[in-house]
Amino acid sequence: MPETIDPDKMEEIQNADETWILDFWAEWCNPCQEYKPIFEEVAGEVDSVNFGKVPVHEHKQLAQQMQVRALPTTVIVRGGDQVARNEGLMEEDELKDWIEEKA
């Protein structure tokens, strides 16, 4: 299950030598709700990286910090650096392929 990301955890992520797949989402975002089970399914299957969900409706500053302008947005952070991003929904196979290629 993906970890919920708050400002303290985001600081840890940006200072860690790990790879994180972050889903920026909001409760009011219908596409985000469609993406939720897909993201969670992939998070349960792929154990080579860490998964987190950033609730933008609670932590707008994290979206601003990562320059997220659309929801849902999936971001790969490795060693504190943003290495890839995707705006919008991805299907399960598409998300797995994207992670394999970019992470």
* Rounded distance between C-alpha atoms, residue 46 and residue 69, angstroms: 27
| Amino acid, single-letter form, for residue 80 | G
| Overall residue count recorded for the chain in this entry | 103
* Rounded distance between C-alpha atoms, residue 66 and residue 30, angstroms: 21
Active site residue 29: yes
Catalytic residue among 16, 26, 29, 49: 29
Catalytic residue among 21, 22, 32, 43: 32
Active-site positions read 29, 32
